[in-house]
């Protein structure tokens, strides 16, 4: 006899009920029938699964092993069945969408658009400062899409197994406190900020090296660098302890202003990636279109950036 899922359900039922008689009642079987089935299961697995006496049934060491596996396999099979049903009844043929993203302006708008277009499709998100981590999760099948950024024309990670679509390209602007002496400038030479401290969010790409190179070409070395989360970086700018680099789609608060850097020495690309052989790949064109629309919305919320793009059409949303 081959072991089947129904046999694992019997083992689980006996363990949960604490006796064969109670398990038979829960399963709607006659007690002799359940006892006979349990004996066949034990013969198949090579030993007794329960010690049975007048006080009930307790798992043997072999029973504990089987029960441990059953408690993993049975929920997994139920989840598979539920996903298969959802898969068969969705327009895209996708049971759900799991999206990972680094910090950026697109994720919120993307989720808004996807949930509006596919209200019956479960959507979950995960954020990380590491594009490598998110790419690894997509490659392992634990995420369906990764929304990341890369510096300039730097190739995205895992290009051998991932497909990447460019959502848009931003200049990097500088973020200043509203009463900063340079806050009223239409654009700034990077060298004008040589005496400033800099607040930066972490990342695992080459942006830090590119920034250091841009500073060197401008003739200075940054006085101090504060690497921290976005909220802390903004706080340091607001209290006048630092200036910060930001994507041109950054949504300003009343205390801050954003100023373009002359010559656009730093650039940032927004990319959407997925595993080339995944089931989710069939939904990629639609998800990419929604991501570009969310990015276009982010541009529209920035009067400064929208105006800047009129003179610099090579940036912005990618076709």
What is the C-alpha to C-alpha distance for residues 79 and 64, in angstroms, rounded to an integer?
Answer: 23
pLDDT in tens, the chain (319 residues): 788 889 999 999 999 999 888 988 888 889 898 889 999 998 988 999 999 888 889 999 998 999 999 999 988 888 877 666 655 555 555 567 899 999 888 999 999 999 998 888 889 999 999 999 999 999 888 899 999 999 988 888 887 789 999 999 999 999 999 999 999 999 999 999 999 999 988 888 888 889 999 999 999 999 899 999 889 999 999 999 999 999 999 888 889 999 999 999 999 999 999 998 888 888 899 999 999 999 999 999 988 998 999 999 999 886 6
According to DSSP H, which parts of 90-244 are helical? 107-117, 131-139, 207-217, 230-238
Is the pTM for the entire model greater than 0.95?
no
5-88 CATH, one of 3.40.30.10, 3.40.190.10, 1.10.10.10, 3.40.50.880: 1.10.10.10
CATH fold group of domain 94-319: D-Maltodextrin-Binding Protein; domain 2 (3.40.190)
Closest CA to 98 of 133, 125, 76: 125
Location of each CATH 3.40.190.290 domain in the chain: 94-319
Q: Collect all residues with Cβ–Cβ distance below 8 Å to 253 and sequence separation of at least 6.
A: 234
What is the C-alpha to C-alpha distance for residues 198 and 242, in angstroms, rounded to an integer?
Answer: 5
* Terminal CA-CA length for the chain: 59
Location of each CATH 1.10.10.10 domain in the chain: 5-88
């Amino acid at each position: 006899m081959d072991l089947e899922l129904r046999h694992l359900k019997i083992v689980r039922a006996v363990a949960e009920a604490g006796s064969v008689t109670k398990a038979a009642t829960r399963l709607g079987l006659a007690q002799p029938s359940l006892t006979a089935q349990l004996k066949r299961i034990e013969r198949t697995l090579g030993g007794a699964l329960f010690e049975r006496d007048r006080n009930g049934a307790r798992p043997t060491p072999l029973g504990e092993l089987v029960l441990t596996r059953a408690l993993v396999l049975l929920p997994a099979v139920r989840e598979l069945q539920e996903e298969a049903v959802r898969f068969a009844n969705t327009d895209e043929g996708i049971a759900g969408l799991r999206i990972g993203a680094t910090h950026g302006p697109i994720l919120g708008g993307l989720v808004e658009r996807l949930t509006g277009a596919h209200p019956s499709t479960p959507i979950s998100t995960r954020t990380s400062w590491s594009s490598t981590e998110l790419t690894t999760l997509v490659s392992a099948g634990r995420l369906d899409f990764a929304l990341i950024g890369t510096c300039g024309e730097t190739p995205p990670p895992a290009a051998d197994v991932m497909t990447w679509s460019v959502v848009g390209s931003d200049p990097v602007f500088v973020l200043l406190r509203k009463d900063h002496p340079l806050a009223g400038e239409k654009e700034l030479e990077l060298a004008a900020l040589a005496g400033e401290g800099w607040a930066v969010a972490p990342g695992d790409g080459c942006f830090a090296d590119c920034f250091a190179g841009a500073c060197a070409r401008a003739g200075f070395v940054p006085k101090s660098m504060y690497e921290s989360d976005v909220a802390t970086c903004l706080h340091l700018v607001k209290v006048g302890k630092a200036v910060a680099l930001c994507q041109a789609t950054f949504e300003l608060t009343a205390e801050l202003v954003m100023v373009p850097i002359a010559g656009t020495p730093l650039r940032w690309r927004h990319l959407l990636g997925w595993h080339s052989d995944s089931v989710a790949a069939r939904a990629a064109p639609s998800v990419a279109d929604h991501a570009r629309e969310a990015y276009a919305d982010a541009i529209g919320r920035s009067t400064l950036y929208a105006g800047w793009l009129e003179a610099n059409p090579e940036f912005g949303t990618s076709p």
